[in-house]
Chain A
Amino acid sequence: MPTIKSLDDLKKMREEALRKQELKTSTGKTEIVVGMGTVGIAAGARETLKAILEFVDSNHLENIIIRQTGNIGIDSFEPVVQVILPGQEKVTYGHVSPEIVKTIMEEHVIKGKPVSDYQVKS
């Protein structure tokens, strides 16, 4: 994909993407939440978030909402990531390194199959 040189270019690309999207049936958005409290940040949450952003960009994933939030409350499992597919229960993952991000994104976000290995059961 080419470099986007200006805000105008970006706006045009967005309009085109939206037109394409309207052709598909609307299924809602997948939410990905990264815990960014002090403990999460110290444990590497910024690299985790960065890996998620890069994955969404390089795999051109539409209909995703990436959010950061404060402390999720399970300090010993940081960095913590939660994935919520449209209409489904949220799934919480612990110790999510950038490598694990790739697995979660490929299996859960794209294919819709939660990855049991890294899940934190509450």
Chain B
Amino acid sequence: MREITLHILDIAANSISAGARNIFISIIGNHKDDTLEITISDDGKGMTPEMVAIVTDPFTTTRTERNVGLGIPLLKAAAEACNGWFNISSELGKGTKVQVGFQLSHIDRMPLGDVPSTLLGLLIGTPEVHWTFRVKNDEKEFYFDDTELKRELGGDCLSEPEVIRYVRELFTEEIDALALN
């Protein structure tokens, strides 16, 4: 996967599989610190420390049962190859938080990719989840909480054409204006 947003989609899919009702995604670029930091946190079923070890390092740990693919170790390796970091913290019954950082200007850093389409797909495709998104580039920020949209429209109409259009135009306009790549 050669785009950071594809990894975000993958981690968010884990959160959905973990039964999360609330998922928060933040993408923060900071030119002064030369960092790009991604956070995905959920209130899903969480993992034991042993399970965290298994999803993070699948080849050094006894692999008995896991439902998570190789997405996490690949993302960790990609970050560490770019002067970055990776951290996953989880508590059984509470949820999971994945944080990954890259050196923003690193020559090998994969591009962020299509942020609007990624967030649009998550919002429309999983209406039962309460989504919160933050995309920030230095001082410029886009913040979206789906509470108002769902309260105004009712929860089961997200796949309707005018809703898709509205959200896509909102995300595209606001996120493109941040010029974060």
A120 within 8 A of B: no
Contact across chains for B164 and A38 when beta carbons are under 8 A apart: no
Residue on A nearest B126 in the bound complex, by CB: A68
State A37–B169 Cα separation when bound (angstroms): 26
State A3–B162 Cα separation when bound (angstroms): 9
A107 within 8 A of B: no
Size bracket of the B interface: 35 or more
Closest Cβ of chain A to B133, distance in Å, is 16
B165 within 8 A of A: yes
Contact across chains for A41 and B13 when beta carbons are under 8 A apart: yes
Task: Determine the chain B residues whose CB is within 8 A of the CB of A90 once the complex forms.
Answer: none
Q: Which of B123-181 contact A (CB under 8 A)?
A: 124-126, 148-149, 152-153, 156-157, 159-166, 168-169
A74 within 8 A of B: no
B6 within 8 A of A: yes
State A65–B157 Cα separation when bound (angstroms): 8
Contact across chains for B9 and A60 when beta carbons are under 8 A apart: no
Size bracket of the A interface: 20 to 34
Q: Is the interface of B mostly helix, strand, loop or mixed?
A: helix
**A7-B149, A53-B168 are known contacts. Are A34 and B125 too (CB-CB below 8 A)?**
yes
Closest Cβ of chain A to B137, distance in Å, is 22
Contact across chains for A37 and B13 when beta carbons are under 8 A apart: yes
A91 within 8 A of B: no
**A11-B152, A41-B1, A70-B17 are known contacts. Are A56 and B161 too (CB-CB below 8 A)?**
yes
Contact across chains for A68 and B1 when beta carbons are under 8 A apart: no
B91 within 8 A of A: no
State A50–B5 Cα separation when bound (angstroms): 14
Residue on B nearest A53 in the bound complex, by CB: B164
Task: Determine the chain B residues whose CB is within 8 A of the CB of A34 once the complex forms.
Answer: 125
Q: Which single member of B69, B148, B156, B166 contacts A4 (CB below 8 Å)?
A: B166
Residue on B nearest A66 in the bound complex, by CB: B159
A110 within 8 A of B: no
Contact across chains for B159 and A46 when beta carbons are under 8 A apart: no
Contact across chains for A14 and B163 when beta carbons are under 8 A apart: yes
Contact across chains for A56 and B166 when beta carbons are under 8 A apart: no
Given A4-B165, A13-B162, A38-B13, 10 further pairs, Cβ under 8 A = A1-B162, A11-B153, A14-B157, A36-B9, A38-B70, A46-B6, A46-B117, A53-B164, A64-B160, A66-B124
4 smallest CB-CB distances across A and B, nearest first, come from A38-B69, A68-B125, A4-B166, A66-B159
A-B contact pairs, 13 of them (CB 8 A): A4-B162, A11-B153, A13-B162, A14-B162, A37-B13, A42-B1, A42-B6, A50-B114, A53-B124, A59-B161, A62-B160, A66-B124, A70-B13
